[in-house]
Amino acid sequence: MVVLETAAQPLVILAQAMLFVKLKVVADMVSLCSRVALKAWLIALYPSHAIWAYCVGHAVSSALLVVIYYGTLLWHVRSPDNCLPVKSASELGPRLVPGQPALDRDQLALTWSFFKQGLLKQLLTEGERYLMTAFHLLDFSEQGLYDVVANLGSLAARFLFQPVEENAYVYFSRTVERGKPVSAAAGRVLHDLLRAMSLLGLVAVTFGWSYSHLLLRLYGGALLAAGPAVSLLRAQCAYVLLLAVNGVLECYTFAVMRQEQINGYNRKMVLLSVIFVVSTGIFTRLFGGVGFILANCVNMLTRIYVCYRFVAGLPLEPAVSVPPLLGLRPPPAVAAALVTAGLLAAGSESWLYPGSAAGHVAVGALCGAAVVAAAVHSEPRLLQAVRERVGDKLKRS
């Protein structure tokens, strides 16, 4: 599986650089659907060999990724209108160029910096699972409950935030020059992305508090909703807000950082890792499974703080009329609508739920419509950008 996925990575990077968004969507969809279908079929046939079914499903999906990407590459290479910067698949692999050194020292140093950064980010992102397993901070039933709630709460990050972050990084890396002042176009896009993602996160916090019990009841039944899962999911909603903000800030930060700045950021991430481990130990002993989510929130807050200070210190071009970081501040009308909606939803949970789940949902729908109306009224530029994007999609189709 590792070999197959590694073989597809050069083409994945090339597709991102060439803005082949549809190719990535189709490849990921085919890979995911085939993996899920094959796993379900093999587990149904051989229930005692679930681990082998898991491995076979991943191997087949990885092989499909390789086939799709390399097939697309061969089609472009043989086409007379080849728009790729390569003429054959062999150019993507390691090769010696006459008259040039075998390894580019600058590229090697930059790759090493990104490798260290990726390793530290992996520890910060999945560190709670390593600590949970190594130090037995939770028993197995609590670990299972935590995984269920964490996977449910991270659906927004996987299916909404991650594609936005990937496309944002590609855009910023192609339009922003490292070490140069923030341009008007990049500043406007960063401002709009921060505004949109922060609003989505605030909506998750506003309605997640009052509808966590109902969602868990629908998802796993009364037994799941009766335990500490409700508190876990409510804390996860706050974590989703921080994920939304941190993803966009880190995209822009990594797109404009020079190599020495990346090395400095890596040293800061070592300190952030220590803070994360210490906060995990303290919060877990005080709050149990919720402590892991609170430690993740502390981790995200520290990362947001580092990126915020970096972006705030960048020079702006004279044409930039609105500082990009002001996108983190919601308009007064939207903030008032969110506060009102949160209070009404909490009152509905106390007075209507669980006696009238339909009434509770109706109150949430009305409050959500009011928040959307306030956002549309306060953010005409975002609405116009969405309309233009949808219009372009309809014209292409």
Helices (H), the chain: 2-17, 21-45, 50-78, 105-135, 140-153, 155-156, 162-175, 184-220, 222-226, 229-256, 259-287, 289-312, 332-351, 357-378, 380-396
Cβ-contact 256, 108 below 8 angstroms: no
Extract the tokens encoding 8. 């597809």
Tens digits of per-residue pLDDT, 175-231? 887 777 888 888 888 888 899 899 999 999 999 889 988 888 888 887 778 778 888
User: Is the pLDDT confidence value at 69 over 90?
Assistant: no
Q: What's the whole-number mean pLDDT along residues 58-72?
A: 84
384, amino acid identity: Q
Q: What percent of the chain has pLDDT over 70?
A: 91
Cβ-contact 319, 335 below 8 angstroms: no
What is the C-alpha to C-alpha distance for residues 230 and 216, in angstroms, rounded to an integer? 7
Query: Chain centroid to CA 273: how far?
Result: 20
Q: What is the pTM of this model?
A: 0.77
- Burial code of 111-144, b = ≥16 C-beta within 10 A, e = fewer? eebeebbeebbebbeebbeebbeeeebbeeebbe
What is the pLDDT at residue 343? Answer: 94
Q: Residue 388 — pLDDT band, cuts 50, 70, 90?
A: low
Extract the tokens encoding 297. 């929130």
Q: What's the whole-number mean pLDDT along residues 75-93?
A: 74
What is the C-alpha to C-alpha distance for residues 213 and 353, in angstroms, rounded to an integer? 10
Lowest-pLDDT range, 325-329, 365-369, 377-381? 377-381
Classify residue 329 by its DSSP letter: S
- 3-state SS class at 113: helix
Lowest-pLDDT range, 70-79, 263-272, 293-302, 384-393? 384-393
Tens digits of per-residue pLDDT, 216-269? 888 888 777 877 888 888 998 999 999 989 989 988 888 888 878 877 887 888
User: Is the pLDDT confidence value at 341 over 90?
Assistant: yes
Lowest-pLDDT range, 84-93, 200-209, 278-287? 84-93
Query: Chain centroid to CA 237: how far?
Result: 14
Q: What's the whole-number mean pLDDT along residues 31-47?
A: 84
Q: Residue 389 — pLDDT band, cuts 50, 70, 90?
A: low
Q: What's the whole-number mean pLDDT along residues 371-396?
A: 71
Ordered DSSP codes for 184-246: HHHHHHHHHHHHHHHHHHHHHHHHHHHHHHHHHHHHH-HHHHHSTHHHHHHHHHHHHHHHHHH
| Selection from 25, 54, 27 nearest residue 38 by Cα | 54
Cβ-contact 301, 241 below 8 angstroms: no
What is the pLDDT at residue 370? Answer: 93
User: Is the pLDDT confidence value at 282 over 70?
Assistant: yes
16, amino acid identity: Q
Tens digits of per-residue pLDDT, 128-165? 667 776 666 677 777 778 778 887 877 777 777 888 88
What is the pLDDT at residue 128? Answer: 67
User: Is the pLDDT confidence value at 390 over 60?
Assistant: no
Cβ-contact 304, 242 below 8 angstroms: yes
What is the pLDDT at residue 89? Answer: 67
What is the pLDDT at residue 9? Answer: 78
